[in-house]
Structure 1
């Protein structure tokens, strides 16, 4: 199949597929007489694996390590559990950060009285104040 077919089948952009080839995540495809890349079902399966790992927000280096295990170049006990545990910790840290961001945005939203005809937008005032280094609704001074 052509790269455009592989892209459609997996939902992965053509440029991303080429990048994955250059970085060694996908083996180089065979070339047709006209020079076009010719992808096999094995490329489709491998790309689906990479896409699934990326959907789990795994770094490409971790995906590469997992592929080495899949390919038999590393033993299965080569730290997959630790790799997933590290990813879980990154996700938990990001969730904590996102919860804090949610609280900050909620405080900022609460500052709006929605009567912009009678008053300037309080959200914009708060953001301008923060830009000047002043305390704002979402980042009160300590």
Structure 2
């Protein structure tokens, strides 16, 4: 079997090629992480826009509903002075619970490029094994 010229390169040349390929790989992985993060942020922004749009209608509907319930409890004998405060307190309590539950669901970790990070860790492990 004949050995080609490229197979006869010395160790320094092979090591140089290895580091060049690793450098290129890391640059590509960083680019991929940026793209993945950008995509995740764009998805989040689109979702937030839908939530804000929905909230506009929810606020309008709740305003009418709260007014109707206020009139209803006045009809059943609650003082017209206290009825709006009772309804507002109930609405604020429910709103606070919902905000706290939603806040716990929004974590910055979900925006991190998890696929790319995992792939980069695998690449580093593979590179370490190749160098040994």
Structure 2 length-normalised TM: 0.31
Higher relative contact order (CA 8 A, sep 6+): 2
- Computing the radius of gyration from Cα coordinates, the structure with the larger value is 2
The structure richer in helix per residue is 2
Q: TM-score, normalised by structure 1?
A: 0.29
